[in-house]
Amino acid sequence: MKIAVLGSTGQTGRLVLARALARGHDVIALARRPEQVEAPASGNLRVVRADVTVPGSVATAVEGADVVVSALGITKRQDPAVLVEGARQIASAAPRVIWLTSLGMGATQGALGVVNGALLRRILRHEWKAKGLAGRAVRDAGGTTVHAGPLTGRPYRDDGRLVPAQEFRPRMIPPMAPRAGIAALMVAEAETPQRADADTVALFEHR
């Protein structure tokens, strides 16, 4: 399978990249700065310069990919419109998209309760609206959104699971999401779609 990874230089994106390569897939790493891609040397890896602000570069980069797995994020210095434009370009160019986003927004708004939901909105105020629009663009194209709680490097006990967003019950304490586990779940969904065309929540048992 040919998997394109968007956000391949970020903390989670690097793990998605490594996981896909370890599983033996042909991988396209999309990056605005290809020199920043960190991955094991592999003949199955192709690093491509792609920038949503450069018309056509994303569509060209993902040409031939079976699925795009996105761990795209932005910093406080970046324009949130990058997320929305990235989602729209990927959704229109790729046959299938798996998109990582935050629990508590979009289809999971209200999942963290009133207090924590308001706190999350304050913390993510720079990108709140953009994340919601980006997730909607992916879903409108038939893609899968993966809503994750706070991302951590903590160990976890099981392989995790993706549950439909509508089945997730609101919690006062948000479920933590190990980055390595998120990477494994997203690659597994790319390999064998279980939640295609769905909003999902990533859940894990921690040690």
Distance CA 198, CA 119 (A): 26
Averaged pLDDT of the chain: 88
Between residues 142 and 41, the one the model is more confident about: 142
CB 89 within 8 A of CB 58: yes
- Residue 132's pLDDT is 87
Contacts 24+ apart (CB under 8 A), 59-65: 59/89, 59/92, 59/93, 61/4, 61/28, 61/30, 62/4, 62/28, 62/30, 62/90, 62/93, 62/94, 63/93, 64/2, 65/2, 65/3, 65/4, 65/28, 65/94, 65/95
Confidence (pTM): 0.91
- Residue 34's pLDDT is 82
Is the model's pLDDT at 50 over the cut of 80?
Answer: yes
Per-residue pLDDT, averaged over 175-180, amounts to 92
Is the model's pLDDT at 202 over the cut of 70?
Answer: yes
Is the model's pLDDT at 24 over the cut of 90?
Answer: yes
Between residues 108 and 53, the one the model is more confident about: 108
- Residue 109's pLDDT is 86
pLDDT confidence band for 41 (50 / 70 / 90): low
| Measured distance between the N- and C-terminal CA atoms of the chain, rounded to whole angstroms | 32
**Helix, strand or coil, per DSSP, at residue 48:** strand
pLDDT tens for each residue of 66-100: 999 999 877 667 777 888 888 999 999 999 999 99
- Residue 142's pLDDT is 95
- Residue 169's pLDDT is 87
DSSP code for 195:
S
- Residue 206's pLDDT is 60
Single-letter amino acid, residue 68: V
CB 93 within 8 A of CB 59: yes
- Residue 75's pLDDT is 67
CB 68 within 8 A of CB 98: yes
- Residue 66's pLDDT is 97
Distance CA 76, CA 155 (A): 28
Side-chain-facing half-sphere of 188: CA atoms under 13 Å: 14
Distance CA 6, CA 21 (A): 14
